[in-house]
Amino acid sequence: MNFEKNILCIGAGYVGGPTMAIIAYKCPQYRVTVVDMNSERIAEWNSDDLPVYEPGLDKIVKTVRGRNLFFNTEIEQGIKEAEIIFVSVNTPTKTFGAGAGLAADLQYWEKTARQICQCAQSPKIIVEKSTLPVRTALAMERILTSNDNGIRFDVLSNPEFLAEGTAINDLENPDRVLIGSRQTESGLKARDELVEIYANWVPIERIITSDTWSSELSKLAANAFLAQRISSINSISALCEKTDANITDVANAVGTDSRVGNRFLNVSVGFGGSCFEKDILNLVYLCQNYALHEVADYWASVVKINEYQKNRFVLNMITAMFNTLVGKKICLFGFAFKANTGDTRESPAIFIAKRLIEEKAELVVTDPKALKNARIDLNGIDSNVSYMEDPYEAAVGCHAIAILTEWDLYRNLEFEKIYRSMIKPAFIFDGRNILDHKKLFQIGFNVFPIGKPALTHF
């Protein structure tokens, strides 16, 4: 079959895989290939057990794989054949050298740019899908034009706004698609080609365009604003606990103001995920670089409050359980950084598990999708950790349960049965405020929500 366009995506991760699956699904007239240097990951994408869990993803991949969606490791071949190349490689926080702990590590990104430069034999549009520091497209352009072979490259910024756990819905019905380009004739032409792809299913008024730098910066700013909301409500939860105010009522009263809005005001044990912290730190680094120290400090405090919230949760557990956790068995309900994903990158559960292990507690971890990653995260320090799929079995013989992920499954458990199987006094620390605290208290639990008075039998 002759396809209208050949699209390539470099990087078959949480973004590259689902994003390309949706493009292939919505646009049968395009051939979409996803490549990665990690052959195991590619093999998983070609198997029945996909490397990414997202509600609805399996069905879509099964429909389009082999039709117009292909996964392989032939990066050079893919570059040669494609007219449009999405780059969706990882851009983690740098762990070494200048900017360590703050700046984005651009080694994977640069490697890709050089590979494109070496292999390309015809003009191409390069689309930045990864989240990058503002002005990275300029570096990409410089690398691509360093090989004076006369090939034209247009670099666009098209940051991805999907949220893990709701990726398929976010991709099918995005609030907006953002495309940044140079405001030159060829930049605008390249932009229009990308607009044409999205216009296959996204209403045109939701496809917004800007210059390249604004687009790059918008992604960092959007994540910083989202994380800031979480840190804001979490900071108020600490004050609620000291004053017997109730965070649910406060969030409701604040959020019903239409200027504020009621979404993303859920109190929690802290935010996680591979993006929020990394992107804010990247923003902080950029501000520091431009000597905007007050701005840098402002955004750094969002991460600081997040650290504080995670630490506070552990300290509350220790205090509530008579100031010692030595030898106590604690069950973690949930390890994923949020519900409906198996992703545990930067999950607050990792921090909490490590702290509880330091306190010499014994842990049982349960999670419907994230146990494989949990084992990897705690590898080497988990001699006193066990992993169990079934939450009822996991809680048997435990002194306490800590709810760390807001899986729906945990809302509807038979807590009477769980209570009967636990050591008394039995504790529940609800790090997501998803349970019926009064009911748990009536069953006999000592209940410690976030941002509300504890319900104890002492």
Ligand X SMILES: NC(=O)c1ccc[n+]([C@@H]2O[C@H](COP(=O)([O-])OP(=O)(O)OC[C@H]3O[C@@H](n4cnc5c(N)ncnc54)[C@H](O)[C@@H]3O)[C@@H](O)[C@H]2O)c1
Among 33, 68, 90, 231, binds ligand X (CB under 6 A): 90
DSSP for 8-69, written as a single string: EEE--STTHHHHHHHHHHH-TTEEEEEE-S-HHHHHHHTSSS-SS--TTHHHHHHHHBTTTE
Query: Out of 27, 275, 331, 398, which one is annotated catalytic?
Result: 275
Q: Which of 131, 136, 228, 231 binds ligand X (CB under 6 A)?
A: 131
Minimum CB separation of residue 203 from ligand X in Å reads 21
The CB density around residue 165, as the number of other CB atoms within 10 Å, is: 21
Smallest distance, ligand X to C-beta of residue 52, A: 8
- H or E stretch at 298: helix 293-320
- Interacting span for ligand X (CB under 6 A) from 4-12, 188-196, 206-214, 350-358: 4-12
Phi and psi at 45, nearest 5°, equal -65, -25
Query: Sign of torsion, CA 21 24 25 27?
Result: positive
DSSP letters, 169-196, are HHHHS-S-EEEEE-SSHHHHHHHHHHHH
Give the range of 31-39, 64-72, 201-209, 365-373 binding ligand X by CB under 6 A. 31-39
Minimum gap (Å) between residue 22 Cβ and ligand X: 14
238 counts as binding ligand X under rule CB under 6 A: no
Is residue 217 within 8 Å of residue 108, measured between CB atoms?
A: no
Q: How far is the CB of 137 from ligand X (least distance, A)?
A: 14
Q: Does 116 bind ligand X (CB under 6 A)?
A: no
* Closer by beta carbon to ligand X, 88 or else 309: 88
- H/E stretch holding 319 reads helix 293-320
Taking CB under 6 A as the rule, does residue 130 contact ligand X? yes
Place of tokens 């919505």: 26
Q: Considering Cα of 20, then 22, then 25, then 27, what sign does the dihedral take? A: negative
Q: 48: phi > 0 → left, psi -120 to 50 → alpha, else beta; which?
A: alpha
Which residue in the set 10, 24, 361, 378 belongs to the binding site for ligand X (CB under 6 A)?
A: 10
* CB 423 within 8 Å of CB 397: yes
Minimum separation from the CB atom of position 160 to ligand X (A): 4
Shorter beta-carbon distance to ligand X: residue 88 or 306: 88
Cα gap 431→317, rounded to integer Å: 11
Based on the shown chain and the rule CB under 6 A, indicate whether residue 13 belongs to the binding site for ligand X.
yes
Q: How far is the CB of 152 from ligand X (least distance, A)?
A: 22
- Is 14 one of the binding residues for ligand X (CB under 6 A)? yes
What does the angle CA 450 – CA 276 – CA 265 come to, to the nearest 5 degrees? 40
Q: Please work out the total of residues on this chain that contact ligand X, with binding judged by CB under 6 A.
A: 26
DSSP H helical ranges for 130-256: 136-144, 167-172, 185-198, 212-243, 247-255
CA distance 127 to 377: 32
Describe the crossing of helices 57-64 and 16-26 by its angle, rounded to 10 degrees: 60
Q: Which of 64, 162, 194, 220 binds ligand X (CB under 6 A)?
A: 162
Query: Which residue's Cβ has the minimum distance to ligand X?
Result: 13
Q: Does 275 qualify as catalytic in the annotation?
A: yes
Segment interacting with ligand X (CB under 6 A) among 35-43, 204-212, 329-337, 436-444: 35-43
CB of 85 to ligand X, least distance (A): 11
Among the residue ranges 157-165, 184-192, 251-259, 284-292, the one whose residues contact ligand X (CB under 6 A): 157-165
Per-residue x/- mask for ligand X, residues 339 to 368, rule CB under 6 A?
A: ------------------------------
Residue 86 C-alpha from the chain's centroid: 19
Which residues lie across from 71 on neighbouring strands?
Answer: 34
Task: Say which residue the tokens 């842990």 belong to.
Answer: 363
306 binds ligand X (CB under 6 A): no
- The reply to whether 215 sits near ligand X by the rule CB under 6 A is no
Q: Which is nearer to ligand X, 91 or 268 (CB)?
A: 91
Question: Which range binds ligand X by CB under 6 A, 156-164, 231-239, 258-266, 307-315?
Answer: 156-164
Q: How far is the CB of 75 from ligand X (least distance, A)?
A: 6
Choosing from 11, 270, 431, 451, the residue that interacts with ligand X (CB under 6 A) is 11
Just list the catalytic residues.
Answer: 275
Interface ranges with ligand X (CB under 6 A): 10-16, 36-38, 41, 75, 88-91, 108, 111-112, 130-131, 160, 162, 164, 274-275
